[in-house]
């Protein structure tokens, strides 16, 4: 089975740094996706981690520890437009290649 845990909501200040954690227990694991979803819009791809460690992409970085079943998304220099839900999605890499999404973390960036 699949079990994904993320905080439901977070609030951070514009210009600050925020870390969104995700823990998961999955039957089979190949990698982990992070998606961003603005209210009323479709999810959009942010990152995909296969190997342990930190991958940086501009203001966003994503970390993975396969042995701990843990990932985080790090957002730097927060902007108001970063207010969105952030979805953690482990990928089993087998069978139907479906992603299992967590319920998402709703991030509110305040001035």
Residues that bind other proteins (CB under 8 A): 30-31, 33, 41-45, 48, 50, 87, 91, 93, 95-104
| In the complex, minimum distance from the CB of residue 64 to other proteins, in angstroms, rounded to a whole number | 14
Altogether, the residues listed in the chain come to a count of 111
CB of 91 to other proteins, least distance (A): 6
Which residue, among 29, 99, 102, 38, has the nearest Cα to 64 in the 3D structure?
29
Give min distance, CB of 10 to other proteins, in A: 15
């Amino acid at each position: 089975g699949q079990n994904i845990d993320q905080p439901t909501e977070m609030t951070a200040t514009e210009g600050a740094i925020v870390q969104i954690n995700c823990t998961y227990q999955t039957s089979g694991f190949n990698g982990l996706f992070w998606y961003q979803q603005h209210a009323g819009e479709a999810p959009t791809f942010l990152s995909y981690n296969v190997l342990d460690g930190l991958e940086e992409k501009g203001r966003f970085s994503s970390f993975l520890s396969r042995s701990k079943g843990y990932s985080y998304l790090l957002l730097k220099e927060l902007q108001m437009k970063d207010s969105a839900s952030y979805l953690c999605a482990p990928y089993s890499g087998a069978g139907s290649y479906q992603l299992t999404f967590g319920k998402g973390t709703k991030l509110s960036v305040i001035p």
